[in-house]
Amino acid sequence: MTSWLYIKEQEIAAMASPPKNPAYLRYAKRMLPLSVLYVAAIALATRLVPDNAPASATTVGLALLPGFAVLGWIWAMGRLLVELQDEYLRMLEVRKFLVATGVTLAVCSVWGILELFSPFVPRMPVFLVFPLWALGLFVGVVVNRFSQGGGQGL
């Protein structure tokens, strides 16, 4: 009975402990400066490029800056999957990515069809697709929680 309680306590502790895997730390170290770059680039482009500005090398370059940060995010997420040596944690991350992709496809497809057939539905800017996918990651976390119980991941 005592050993059973001991094992149960360990199960609960395992569920409560945050991930300390070096791959997660590297991921966080990559994502943080990229996120700062993204926000700064958006702020810079908003400040320097007027809404009705003609297309020029400068305006296009400024508009592309946040895009490079997004490419960096995608690269960092890919590296996370490559560098996660723990197969269970890697599976949880892949599941989160799949759930996020499913959520994004579902929302964009349904919204797109509504845009086609209903004049009252506002057009969804395409740049929102990535933030939507990131929101889908949270849905993935919830799915992992309910299906895996102790599943952590970021």
Instruction: Give the binding site for another protein (CB under 8 A).
Output: 3, 6-7, 10-11, 13-15, 17, 19, 21, 85-89, 91, 148-152
> Rounded distance, CA 122 to CA 124, Å?
6
Residue number with CB closer to another protein (72 or 150): 150
Question: Closest separation between CB of residue 26 and another protein, Å?
Answer: 15
> Rounded distance, CA 102 to CA 152, Å?
20
The label of the residue with tokens 């009705």 reads 52
> Rounded distance, CA 95 to CA 145, Å?
11
> Rounded distance, CA 98 to CA 93, Å?
9
Question: Closest separation between CB of residue 12 and another protein, Å?
Answer: 10
Question: Closest separation between CB of residue 147 and another protein, Å?
Answer: 8
Residue number with CB closer to another protein (68 or 88): 88
Residue number with CB closer to another protein (75 or 88): 88
Three-point CA angle 39, 44, 50, nearest 5°: 125
Question: Closest separation between CB of residue 100 and another protein, Å?
Answer: 20
> Rounded distance, CA 44 to CA 102, Å?
33
Residue number with CB closer to another protein (27 or 133): 27
